[in-house]
Structure 1
């Protein structure tokens, strides 16, 4: 289907917030989407909520797993079952603004961009605005992204036809590793300055655990990308500095 957007959503014990995330998709003024939501063997009320929404809207496709496989594998299952020209990502506790897809697909189509992302704002666990905005730069390439992950997963839209294989590795910070791998081939990701999404920052959010985040990033540099020691030290230093600026300035 022309310009169909396949939205990738993993879900595990997400009963507290997932309805807000799905409602923000249903509220999109861009109607040509499918939501592939993978219930990763939740043991709370997540599956019941998802069954309700999939029965209400045939654009919502529920994939239920019998064994917990983790967020990367869950996303990959959804990607492999997607039908759209584009894929977009939204986690089960984050929110899109109603014009998100309209604005972003127009931006990509007019400029023939294969990979785009946007600015987003942080909200607290209760959904209250924190007034903190993560601003998207106009563009970023592989070398630039090595210095820090400025690409919010909840804002990404990718033209599937431009890349041979879109698959997230089963490691921590799998989204960052994926963007690096896609850009490593010479591609560029283009940013929109407009705020089009809200990232819910809770005590369990990846961004809340700074020490683990640095260790996971170091593993991406050394093990996944197999960068040299000095290059890795330079990148992790830049990453740490930029992460501090990102969240505190």
Structure 2
């Protein structure tokens, strides 16, 4: 049977410090049939020239450049339009995959006859040093659980195109991944993660999750715009979100 092609969606913006490691983590995959579609969002540093060197030496890597700075959502959506894979996976330009990531996930999907999965991931700092923190998720993630907390790390998600089609990426500046996973879980109701860490999420010094207030604003916007709840209903739902963040989610953040 012919191997499935995995399309990897990577937006980039001023990522010269990290993009080499990110691309190399894809090249180091034990599963070799992939295409990496990088869409640069008008970087002003050396990001593009660095990527171009990889493109010259690896035909599986493709680079596109937006005409104006538009945000990661637009970059991901553009990359999606260029993707031809049987599966869609996501990797931001400062995050890393462990070498076995794609192989493990494709095997997991086949064994469980599933169309979507994700995995746990470890956190590193801007310099690439481990923070001794692993982010896990419920082993049988329901739509309701996801409704109150995004347990799926963007760098770990992978879905089957023949089952879902190409799922449009939200153009909002933040929380596009959560909206994507909610769209998927709305259809399949539950999803199982590969129960091990397959990636490294980089926490940047200048954005340690931005601010808590901004996070609340973006989550509120998801309830209002994606779910279509009224202003008042969204406020009440945010109470459930805050409860999950304070009381439930910490159970899935482990020291390693």
Q: Secondary structure at the match of 2:69?
A: coil
**Which residue of structure 2 lines up, in the alignment, with residue 17 of structure 1?**
18
Q: Any residues of structure 2 matched to 1:1-249 within 5 Å, and which?
A: 2-171=3-172, 172-205=174-207, 207-228=209-230, 232-244=234-246, 245-246=249-250
RMSD: 1.9
Q: What TM-score, normalized to structure 2?
A: 0.91
Judge conservation of contact 1:202–1:208 (CA < 8 Å) in 2: no
| CA-CA distance at 1:235 after TM superposition | 3.5
| Cα gap change, 1:136 to 1:218, in 2 (>3 Å) | same
Please say if residues 2 and 85 of structure 1, whose CA atoms lie closer than 8 Å, have aligned partners that are also in contact.
no
Kept in 1: contact 2:134–2:253 (CA 8 A): no
Q: Deviations over 1:51-101 (max 9, x none)?
A: 001111110011122211210110011111111100100000000000000
Question: Which has the larger displacement, 37-46 or 205-214?
Answer: 205-214
Aligned length: 249
Secondary structure in 2 matching 1:239: helix
Q: Report SS of the residue matched to 2:118.
A: strand
Q: What whole-Å deviation, never above 9, does each CA across 1:133-154 have from its counterpart, x for those lacking one?
A: 1012212222221110100000
Any conservation in 1 of the 2:40–2:63 contact (CA below 8 Å)? yes
Say if 1:248 and 1:141 are closer, same or farther in 2 by CA, change over 3 A: closer
TM-score, normalised to structure 1, is 0.93
Task: Give the CA deviation at 1:209.
Answer: 2.3
121-130 or 61-70: which moved more?
Answer: 61-70
- Relative to 1, partners in 2 of residues 1:35 and 1:248: Cα closer, same or farther, differing over 3 Å? closer
Task: Work out the CA distance in 1 between the residues paired with 2:158 and 2:242.
Answer: 26
8 Å contact from structure 2 (residues 135, 253) kept in 1: no
Distance in 2 between residues matched to 1:29 and 1:23, nearest whole Å? 12
What is the CA distance between 1:207 and its match in structure 2? Answer: 2.5
Give how far 1:182 is off.
2.3
Contact 1:206 1:213 in 2 (8 A): no
**Per the alignment, in what secondary structure is the counterpart of residue 193 of structure 2?**
strand
Query: For the residues of structure 2 that align with 1:181 and 1:120, how far apart are their CA atoms?
Result: 22
